């Protein structure tokens, strides 16, 4: 079975990237086109407090979509980053930082919205510290982009 490793990146790895990774995992499992592809999904942060749990608001927002990220622990972007086949960042600034640290990954790094071929801004809004409504709004953005990313992955890898 062919395999692909996907890494989602944000700042602290407590809200956007764990939400995106959780949704991506769930949607990949539902994709018939990816049935013969092993997809490993991780998330990390450029300034993560290693071991921190997912934000309570992120856990609750994801629970509303039937996805459990309550066991998530933040991890930092590290030396294993170049081993990923696809690196999806939450903002253009995150992408620039990854490319600065790992220029050899240039062909594999996209913002999530860029990879999903979404219109408009390539950034996912940061809900950190802004309350439940901001988390739901960010999750709506993430879900639209993740659905597009799964469709593109199915086209590219099936």
Q: Residues with catalytic annotation?
A: 10, 16, 126
**Residue 85: phi, psi to the nearest 5?**
-80, -25
Which of 84, 73, 101 has the alpha carbon at shortest distance from 12? 73
Separation between Cα atoms, residue 1 and residue 4, nearest integer Å: 10
Separation between Cα atoms, residue 18 and residue 100, nearest integer Å: 23
In a 10 Å sphere around its CB, with 0-12 CB exposed, 13-18 middle and 19+ buried, how is residue 18 labelled?
buried
Which of 53, 70, 50 has the alpha carbon at shortest distance from 61? 70
Tokens of residue 118, six digits = 């979404």
């Amino acid at each position: 079975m062919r395999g692909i490793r996907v890494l989602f990146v944000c700042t602290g790895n407590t809200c956007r990237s764990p939400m995106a990774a959780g949704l991506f995992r769930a949607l990949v499992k539902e994709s018939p086109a990816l049935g013969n592809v092993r997809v490993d999904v991780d998330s990390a942060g450029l300034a993560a407090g290693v071991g921190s749990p997912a934000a309570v608001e992120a856990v609750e927002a994801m629970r509303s979509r039937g996805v459990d990220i309550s066991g998530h622990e933040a991890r930092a972007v590290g030396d294993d980053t170049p081993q990923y086949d696809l690196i999806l960042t939450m903002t253009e600034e995150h992408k620039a930082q990854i490319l600065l640290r790992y220029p050899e990954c240039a062909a594999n790094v996209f913002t999530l919205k860029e990879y999903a071929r979404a219109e408009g801004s390539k950034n996912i809004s940061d809900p950190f510290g802004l309350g439940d409504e901001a988390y739901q709004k960010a999750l709506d953005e993430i879900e639209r982009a993740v659905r597009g990313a799964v469709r593109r992955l199915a086209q590219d890898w099936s």
